[in-house]
Amino acid sequence: MTLTTGVRADAGRHARLRGLALATLDANWEHDHTVPSRTLYPHQWSWDSAFIAIGLAHVRPDRAWRELRTLFAAQWVDGRVPHIVFNPASRAGPYFPGPQFWDSARADGAPARATSGIVQPPVHAPAAWLVHRRAPGEASVAALRRLYPRLVAQQRYLTGRRDAGGGGLASIVHPWESGLDNSPAWDAPLAAVPADEAVMRAYRRHDTAHADAAQRPTDLDYARYVALVESYRAGRYRDEALLGRHPFLVECPLVNAALGVSEYALARIATVIGADPGPHRDRGARITEAIVSRLWDPVTGTFRPRDVRADRLVPARTVLGLMPLALPELPSAQVSAVLAEACSPRFGLAARMDRPLPTYDRTAPDFEPLRYWRGPSWINTGWLLWQGLRTHRRADLAAGLRESLLDLVDRAGCHEYFHPDTGVGLGSPAFSWTAALVLDALA
């Protein structure tokens, strides 16, 4: 291929991808928010909306702010941003577990609108910053001004009420809070949660009506998910004394890296709206130090989730361990070690990648290339690593990863996830954050 035909082919691919991504986001727009998928996820999801806003900023900036505004309108009084905001007018089929199961109305400080009671990774402050940077102007500064106190309250909730381990990091109370629901990272801490898959006979899962059961969590996983919601709901979603009464408390490297990165984003936002950026930078540095002191395993040279109840790091090597790379002040020893892990045969990151980035160590005996977060390639974890590579000026590796992400979507479409060897599309075929992050990677 000559240089000019190469450039033309690239322009053609970009136009094709842009058109597909925009059509996917438009089709999933629902009055004041975007559903992740019309079939599988017919409500608003917290971290999905942050990724979606990042993509919308490139094509529909007004909608990007609307997306974030709608989500934060459902913020609880204590600052938590619920992981699902239910749409009472949804015309799609039912979702399990739905609003009756969560029963947020009986919790103190919940909003009028039905929501879940748990959270997801706090990627919203960096998203707001990227939306502003992409389409700056008076309206965008006004939007940042409105959002800022809500973003600060979200951080305060996570670093305050959720610091169950007492070491300056947030604990998750449910695997759903990590966003990587059935990641092998949760196998060890989940084993301590009493559950029996027969429990699921009392409920009706709807996910397996829309996606192959072999590509979804198992019934035993769901039995544990249900047990954990029941435990947290029994205390009306209060966070006091969690250590003594809740069976799952884990410090997740992705959630906490997002918490740290958010402080640096808040510092930038503060500068634009005339607030003091200093305290945010200090908090970002403190969270970075806490991640290194609590989640770093010097023996293997990797970051791992900390099981707070058992007070130990979990054994599985998952993509979560690569996420602290997004922290701008991560010490150079840890930067080098994360890059070594990412470039190892476990994850295969390279300037020219021959296979997509998996979500789990592809050399592990229990690597499952079809099952959700237990192996398949996801665009959001790839995009987060891409951000980390750019933060630490690894343009060579960033270019290889970006190319691999675009190639996946170009060949298979805006799927929810992809087979990590063949690139075949899995899960929902019209998934919003895939579309949104492709738009961002194209820019």
In terms of CB distance, is 218 or 344 closer to ligand 2M8? 218
Q: Which of 22, 25, 48, 251 binds ligand 2M8 (CB under 6 A)?
A: 48
In terms of CB distance, is 174 or 317 closer to ligand 2M8? 174
The least distance separating ligand 2M8 from the CB of residue 258, rounded to whole angstroms, comes to 13
Q: Does 121 help bind ligand 2M8 (rule: CB under 6 A)?
A: no
Residue 418 DSSP class: E
Count Cβ atoms below 10 Å from residue 4 Cβ, excluding itself.
Answer: 8
Whether omega before 97 lies within 30 degrees of 0, making that bond cis, reads yes
Candidate list 177, 181, 239, 361, residue with the active-site label: 181
Q: Does 177 help bind ligand 2M8 (rule: CB under 6 A)?
A: no
Q: Which of 79, 168, 175, 179 binds ligand 2M8 (CB under 6 A)?
A: 179
Q: What angle do CA 403, 407, 412 make, to 5 degrees?
A: 160
In terms of CB distance, is 269 or 323 closer to ligand 2M8? 323
Candidate list 30, 48, 207, 416, residue with the active-site label: 416
In terms of CB distance, is 114 or 337 closer to ligand 2M8? 114
C-beta separation of 384 from 370 below 8 A: no
Provide the β-strand partners of residue 306: 251, 313
* Binding residues among 9-38 for ligand 2M8 as defined by CB under 6 A: 36
Nearest by Cα to 291 from 341, 357, 335: 335
CA distance 437 to 443: 10
Phi and psi of 82, rounded to 5°? -65, 150
- For residue 181, indicate whether it is catalytic: yes
The least distance separating ligand 2M8 from the CB of residue 137, rounded to whole angstroms, comes to 30
Using CB under 6 A as the binding criterion, the count of chain residues that bind ligand 2M8 stands at: 10
Tokens of 167: 């070491």
Residue 161 DSSP class: T
In terms of CB distance, is 67 or 181 closer to ligand 2M8? 181
Count Cβ atoms below 10 Å from residue 208 Cβ, excluding itself.
Answer: 16
Give the range of 43-51, 318-326, 351-359, 406-414 binding ligand 2M8 by CB under 6 A.
43-51
The least distance separating ligand 2M8 from the CB of residue 176, rounded to whole angstroms, comes to 4
The least distance separating ligand 2M8 from the CB of residue 133, rounded to whole angstroms, comes to 24
C-alpha dihedral sign at 310, 315, 319, 324: positive
In terms of CB distance, is 48 or 361 closer to ligand 2M8? 48
The least distance separating ligand 2M8 from the CB of residue 17, rounded to whole angstroms, comes to 20
The least distance separating ligand 2M8 from the CB of residue 323, rounded to whole angstroms, comes to 14
The least distance separating ligand 2M8 from the CB of residue 42, rounded to whole angstroms, comes to 10
The least distance separating ligand 2M8 from the CB of residue 93, rounded to whole angstroms, comes to 13
Q: Does 222 help bind ligand 2M8 (rule: CB under 6 A)?
A: no
CA distance 443 to 325: 22
Q: Does 418 help bind ligand 2M8 (rule: CB under 6 A)?
A: no
Q: Which of 20, 47, 327, 337 binds ligand 2M8 (CB under 6 A)?
A: 47
124-134 and 138-159 helices, crossing angle to 10°: 170
Tokens of 147: 């959002």
* Binding residues among 349-368 for ligand 2M8 as defined by CB under 6 A: none
Q: Does 45 help bind ligand 2M8 (rule: CB under 6 A)?
A: yes
Q: Does 176 help bind ligand 2M8 (rule: CB under 6 A)?
A: yes
Alpha carbons within 13 A on the beta-carbon side of 411 = 15
Bridging pattern class, strands 312-313 and 306-307: antiparallel
CA distance 180 to 314: 15
Q: Does 181 help bind ligand 2M8 (rule: CB under 6 A)?
A: yes
Nearest by Cα to 419 from 363, 358, 343, 345: 358
C-beta separation of 343 from 350 below 8 A: yes
Give the range of 49-57, 176-184, 294-302, 394-402 binding ligand 2M8 by CB under 6 A.
176-184
CA distance 15 to 9: 10
Provide the β-strand partners of residue 360: 318
In terms of CB distance, is 118 or 152 closer to ligand 2M8? 118
Give the range of 23-31, 56-64, 174-182, 394-402 binding ligand 2M8 by CB under 6 A.
174-182
CA distance 173 to 227: 11
3-class state of residue 108 by DSSP: coil
Residues of this chain that interact with ligand 2M8 (CB under 6 A) are 36, 41, 45, 47-48, 83, 176, 179, 181, 207
- Catalytic residue ranges: 181, 416
